Amino acid sequence: MSKRAERRHHYYRLKKKRSSYYGGIAKSFEKDDMQRALGMYVATATLCSCSGCGNPRKHHKEITTQEYKAELVYADGIEEYFGWRPHIKEYNCYW
């Protein structure tokens, strides 16, 4: 399968899957608007980028969960090798 065919396959697969997102709201639009909305859902699955949905670095000046976990792994390595642990800012997350 070529790259183009694979991209198209995933595009149509996501379009079908995401047509039921948000209670199937895209299906309630007119045909042109529905196609536009589904195309937007394929590109990004979120409706908005507000402070609750968006990047915490942008809205709250915090690091992301992945960056925080990486700092913890780094600190563990420093502690294991040198015997002291660098200070890491506390991170409020729910994982």
Q: pLDDT value at position 92? A: 57
> pLDDT category, 91, cuts 50, 70, 90?
low
Position 8 pLDDT exceeds 70: yes
- Burial of residue 58 (CB within 10 Å: 0-12, 13-18, 19+) is exposed
> pLDDT category, 77, cuts 50, 70, 90?
confident
Per residue in 26-52, pLDDT (tens digit) is: 667 777 777 777 777 788 777 676 777
- Burial of residue 37 (CB within 10 Å: 0-12, 13-18, 19+) is buried
User: How many Å apart are CA 9 and CA 11, to the nearest integer?
Assistant: 5
> pLDDT category, 95, cuts 50, 70, 90?
very low
Average model confidence (pLDDT) for the chain? Answer: 77
Q: pLDDT value at position 94? A: 47
